[in-house]
Amino acid sequence: MPRISLEQRRESYLDIGCTLLEESYHSAVPNAGLALSQVKLADVADRCGVTKGALYHLWGSQEEYWDDLLSYLVRTNTLLGVTGITAAIAELFQGDEPPPTVREFANAVFDSLSTSQSLVHSVSLFSYLADQEVHDSFVTEFEGSIALITPILESLISQTNRKLIEPHSMLELVVALSALLQGFCLQRRLGEERTADLANQDEGRLTLFAAGVEALILSYTEPQDPTANKPVDRTDTPGVLEVVLHFGAGEPI
């Protein structure tokens, strides 16, 4: 069996730190302070089955471990969940099935991110935004989410005979949807009953997030041509994700 390298051992101990950080969100910790303060070297050593001294051979102090753990969280986790969104979209658009409705799309995205470990890690780093590395990572990830979502929304709006209401921009809509998604995901973490699905027997499942998405899109857009009724065509998909969403062909929900 090949010997584990020093770097592999460091990463395994940092992985344990990530796990302990997530677990701390599910336990009542009074005066928790900054998130990483809940991750103690002694607990990491205990979880790994090694002595605390073994970890001090790799990090000179608890503070050095926290510094590395913070960098590791930034380096290895998609803070705003772009990876989770991409996976949810890929699953929706498998095979020859018709494209999902915006409601089905929003339901899938919410289901993916509301249980995502990356969401917990992103929340844990909000208190470290003064750290330039953390700040820059959030900016980069949010720009990535904008690049991911904007083509979907542009297709959705144009293919359903709607247009943005001036002076609103697509960026404003993406920011509003992102804030809505993170807010509902956090509420889900606090208790599933906080984000119970809305009763909607006629049109299938309706999450609170999907209802909010529909309301925001209708609030930010208006009919472009009341006489048009152009159906969605999968071949009209713009570049980045090759998806087009059907939103009632411009008809009211």
Q: What is the residue-averaged pLDDT of the chain? A: 76
Cα–Cα distance, 202 to 9 (Å, whole number): 54
| Cα→Cα distances 163→10, 185, 215, Å | 52, 28, 15
User: pTM score, two decimals?
Assistant: 0.67
Distance of CA 40 to the CA centre of its chain: 27
Query: pLDDT (tens digit, 9 = 90+) per residue, 74-98?
Result: 777 545 455 566 666 667 666 666 6
Q: Provide the pLDDT for residue 200.
A: 65
Nearest to 158 by CA among 100, 209, 221, 85: 221
Query: pLDDT (tens digit, 9 = 90+) per residue, 217-236?
Result: 889 998 887 665 554 343 33
What architecture is domain 82-250?
Orthogonal Bundle (1.10)
DSSP category for residue 61:
S
Q: Provide the pLDDT for residue 94.
A: 67
In the chain, ranges of CATH 1.10.357 domains = 82-250
Query: pLDDT (tens digit, 9 = 90+) per residue, 145-183?
Result: 777 778 877 877 776 788 899 999 988 998 899 889 889
Distance of CA 233 to the CA centre of its chain: 28
